[in-house]
Chain A
Amino acid sequence: MSIKPIKKVMGKGVPILGDDIDTDRIIPARYLKCVTFDGIGEFAFYDERFDSDGKPKNHPLNDNRFKDASIIIAGNNFGCGSSREHAPQSIKRAGFSAIIAESFAEIFYGNSTTLGLVCVTLSNDEIVELAKTVEANPNIQIEIDIEGEVIRAGDKVYKCGIKPSTKKSLLDGEYDSLGVLLKNMDKVKEVEKNLPYSFA
């Protein structure tokens, strides 16, 4: 399976700050009732954005200044909780291509990477500064240079964090792991044959 390498992400940012934003908040459980991910984008952050009557709440994603944003700026432990891939799927289908956070929960990070939703880290101070920059100038273009491991925003340049395996898979266009895994089916059979257990 050939997929397009991702070397750079460019776009406007939206700060969705706060720590431990869990996948229940990214997509409430009631919107997991689906047999495909189509249309799931409109439910991203639903309960954070709308009250129980469906009226918009005070949330950055309801702020007109950030309506064209494609990069989320977030805090610590983003995407913790449930392993539901519906969370990164909804973010991606809502039009986002990257998340810059202080840290990510493990499963969310892996799920996002597989979809080509770029996740990179900055320190707390840098996140705060970047968020301030974006607040002051929502139209500023943020550039995430994966190869160089840097984020540029206006005259600021930040060294960002990315796992070496993630970096490589994005640059090689192999972030969707299935193609790589399928290449080794002979070895898979070998390992299976030597396992002491089966259920049949």
Chain B
Amino acid sequence: MGKNLFQKVWDIHKVADLPGGRTQLFIGLHLIHEVTSPQAFAMIKELGLKVAYPDRTFATCDHIIPTDNISRPFADSMAEEMMQALEKNTKENGITFFGPESGYQGVVHIVGPELGLTQPGITVACGDSHTATHGAFGAIAFGIGTSQVRDVLATQTMALNDLKVRRVEVNGKLKPGVYAKDIILYLIRHLGVNGGIGYAYEFAGSTIENLSMEGRMTVCNMAIEGGARVGYVNPDAKTYDYLKGKKYAPKGEKWDKMLAYWESIKSDKDAEYDDVVVFNAEDIEPMVTWGINPEQGIGISEKLPMGDNPSFKEAYEYMKLKPGAPIKGTKIDVAFIGSCTNGRIEDLREAAKYLKGKKVASHVKALAVPGSATVKAKAEAEGLDKIFIEAGFEWRNPGCSMCLAMNPDKLVGDQICASTSNRNFKGRQGSSSGRTILMSPAMAAAAAVTGEVSDVREVFGLN
């Protein structure tokens, strides 16, 4: 029997077996940001340790950065303090920092791939759960806590339990108006928010293969929402095309050498898996969440599920929605297009395509937030900013923005947000009673225009 990518990459990066059955794993690329690193730097300093491999460590700032006024000092003094800590820590330790002045700043999971740092067959760690995103390139990428950030800074390794591998296959052609976001919301609905505990998800099948790199990133990004520790897609020609010419991608002779490595770590044809599940792309329609975790999602044409289990009851109470009612037609207050899930150029292009010549409903506050300075520049070069602004969107600077509440972009009271982000948890968007409905950028564009949860296919005449 052959091996899958996870096993091959794991073996190459294995340093030692640790007592109790854990493995010490080498981390090829460590990405850091302002929220989960300052305490880790303080800890290693206190222990008299140094950053072991500054050349394998890269920083940017995303969570706390304001998306409207980014002039320094930031209006929020705590945000300013965190930013200064990152500037100081990276400078003192010789770590490359992609701050606002670099022209590359942005959401860490968007910056890594677009700079070519994220490559097949590498291990990645970052103190953020959506690190799974980098798996789209055939990397094994772990979201970690601050103590592990400290471990990686000090040793470039982590202690990890081995994972089982589930092959999650999606086959067939997606219907018009159905995107990568719908696929992952559909998978999580069926596999559950904790269905992936103890697993790495290998996303495969013709539907996944036919996705763009950006679509694959969206799928892998939310693997963690299904409880999987990592998610990945085997690399292919599309992966290599995406990487070619990127700032940190290998060049010349090194490219050929790396290409051979990348091909070698792909899952073997006869690879063994602990589990295989298969889905059909044609069963997927545009998805929206209705509850307080990403598993509580339905197709746009479905009615809100019945059921009196405690988690449904809690969700309905919080969301102020009624079982049995359609989700379509639910009035929204805010539309947010952005985040590490859907803040890439393709997401903005898709939304802008639909928004061209349309107007955002008068009661809706709509935000378009590019995932990085690179995405922003590209979008502006293509005139997407004008389309968003003419439609009534606010065009912002790159950052995590309204995905979570660490910057000034927040919901107020029990506002409902049509959001392209990854989490619909209670209070996630900054108000303890604020409500989040997750969806694709196309669906968020439709909701922004109609002012209510809508079917993108009806609003924009797709069939």
- Identify the A interface with B (CB < 8 A): 1, 18-20, 22, 24-25, 28-30, 32-37, 47, 51-52, 76-77, 80-86, 88-89, 103, 105-107, 110-111, 114-115, 163-169, 172, 174, 176-178, 180-182, 184-185, 187-188, 191-192, 195-200
- Judge whether B56 and A198 touch: CB under 8 Å: yes
Among the stretches B147-155, B271-279, B281-289, B352-360, the one at the interface with A is B147-155
- Judge whether B261 and A22 touch: CB under 8 Å: no
Q: How far is the CB of B104 from chain A (nearest CB, A)?
A: 14
Please, could you name 8 A-B residue pairs with CB atoms under 8 Å apart, sorted by A?
A24-B426, A110-B148, A111-B148, A174-B20, A176-B147, A181-B151, A188-B157, A199-B55
- Identify the B interface with A (CB < 8 A): 12-16, 18-22, 24, 26, 28-29, 35-36, 38-39, 42, 47, 49, 52-53, 55-56, 58, 63-64, 76, 78-79, 81-82, 85, 117, 119, 121-122, 127-129, 131, 143-148, 150-151, 154-159, 161, 193-194, 197-198, 227, 229, 248, 250, 257-258, 261, 292-293, 310-311, 314, 404-406, 423, 425-428, 430-433
- Judge whether A20 and B310 touch: CB under 8 Å: no
Please name all residues of chain B whose beta carbon is closer than 8 Å to the beta carbon of A198 when the two chains form the complex: 55-56
- List 9 tightest A-B contacts by C-beta distance, closest first: A168-B20, A85-B145, A111-B145, A165-B20, A47-B432, A83-B129, A85-B146, A35-B38, A177-B159
Q: How far is the CB of B404 from chain A (nearest CB, A)?
A: 4
Q: Among the interface residues B24, B42, B198, which one has the most CB atoms of the partner chain A within 10 A? A: B24
Please name all residues of chain A whose beta carbon is closer than 8 Å to the beta carbon of B311 when the two chains form the complex: 18-20
Please name all residues of chain B whose beta carbon is closer than 8 Å to the beta carbon of A82 when the two chains form the complex: 128-129, 404, 423
| Known contacts A28-B405, A37-B39, A77-B193; A105/B145 CB under 8 A | no
The docked-state distance in angstroms from the alpha carbon of A34 to that of B76 is 12
| Known contacts A181-B159, A195-B28; A36/B42 CB under 8 A | yes
- Judge whether B18 and A180 touch: CB under 8 Å: yes
The docked-state distance in angstroms from the alpha carbon of A105 to that of B15 is 26
Given A24, A176, A187, which contacts B16 in the complex, CB threshold below 8 Å? A187
Q: How far is the CB of B305 from chain A (nearest CB, A)?
A: 16
Among residues of B, the one whose C-beta sits closest to the C-beta of A184 is B16
- Judge whether B26 and A30 touch: CB under 8 Å: no
- Judge whether B81 and A35 touch: CB under 8 Å: yes
- Judge whether B26 and A188 touch: CB under 8 Å: yes
- Judge whether B129 and A47 touch: CB under 8 Å: no
Q: Among the interface residues B18, B58, B76, B406, which one has the most CB atoms of the partner chain A within 10 A? A: B18
Please name all residues of chain B whose beta carbon is closer than 8 Å to the beta carbon of A177 when the two chains form the complex: 18, 22, 147-148, 151, 158-159
| Known contacts A18-B310, A198-B55; A114/B42 CB under 8 A | no
The docked-state distance in angstroms from the alpha carbon of A19 to that of B313 is 12
The docked-state distance in angstroms from the alpha carbon of A178 to that of B151 is 6
Among residues of B, the one whose C-beta sits closest to the C-beta of A80 is B193
Please name all residues of chain A whose beta carbon is closer than 8 Å to the beta carbon of B293 when the two chains form the complex: 20, 22, 80
- Judge whether B310 and A19 touch: CB under 8 Å: yes
Q: How far is the CB of A173 from chain B (nearest CB, A)?
A: 11
A20-B193, A33-B76 known; 5 other A-B pairs, CB under 8 Å? A29-B430, A35-B82, A81-B425, A85-B36, A182-B154
| Known contacts A115-B147, A191-B14; A184/B24 CB under 8 A | yes
Among residues of B, the one whose C-beta sits closest to the C-beta of A17 is B310
The docked-state distance in angstroms from the alpha carbon of A24 to that of B436 is 13
Among residues of A, the one whose C-beta sits closest to the C-beta of B413 is A52
Please name all residues of chain A whose beta carbon is closer than 8 Å to the beta carbon of B144 when the two chains form the complex: 83, 107, 110
Please name all residues of chain B whose beta carbon is closer than 8 Å to the beta carbon of A20 when the two chains form the complex: 193-194, 292-293, 311
Please name all residues of chain A whose beta carbon is closer than 8 Å to the beta carbon of B24 when the two chains form the complex: 180-181, 184, 187-188
- Judge whether A18 and B258 touch: CB under 8 Å: no
Among residues of B, the one whose C-beta sits closest to the C-beta of A108 is B145
Given A24, A36, A106, A168, which contacts B39 in the complex, CB threshold below 8 Å? A36
The docked-state distance in angstroms from the alpha carbon of A37 to that of B122 is 31
Given A35, A36, A114, A180, which contacts B147 in the complex, CB threshold below 8 Å? A114
Please name all residues of chain A whose beta carbon is closer than 8 Å to the beta carbon of B405 when the two chains form the complex: 28-30
- Judge whether B194 and A169 touch: CB under 8 Å: no
Please name all residues of chain B whose beta carbon is closer than 8 Å to the beta carbon of A115 when the two chains form the complex: 147
- Judge whether A182 and B406 touch: CB under 8 Å: no
Q: How far is the CB of B421 from chain A (nearest CB, A)?
A: 12
- Judge whether B428 and A197 touch: CB under 8 Å: no
- Judge whether A103 and B432 touch: CB under 8 Å: no
Please name all residues of chain A whose beta carbon is closer than 8 Å to the beta carbon of B151 when the two chains form the complex: 177-178, 181
Please name all residues of chain A whose beta carbon is closer than 8 Å to the beta carbon of B423 when the two chains form the complex: 22, 24, 81-82
| Known contacts A114-B148, A195-B28; A166/B20 CB under 8 A | yes
Given A22, A36, A105, A185, which contacts B197 in the complex, CB threshold below 8 Å? A105
- Judge whether B26 and A195 touch: CB under 8 Å: yes
Q: How far is the CB of B111 from chain A (nearest CB, A)?
A: 13
Among residues of A, the one whose C-beta sits closest to the C-beta of B192 is A77
- Judge whether A168 and B19 touch: CB under 8 Å: yes
- Judge whether B194 and A77 touch: CB under 8 Å: yes
- Judge whether A164 and B425 touch: CB under 8 Å: no
Q: Among the interface residues A28, A83, A167, which one has the most CB atoms of the partner chain B within 10 A? A: A83
- Judge whether B81 and A81 touch: CB under 8 Å: no
The docked-state distance in angstroms from the alpha carbon of A200 to that of B55 is 6
Q: Among the interface residues B16, B38, B198, which one has the most CB atoms of the partner chain A within 10 A? A: B16
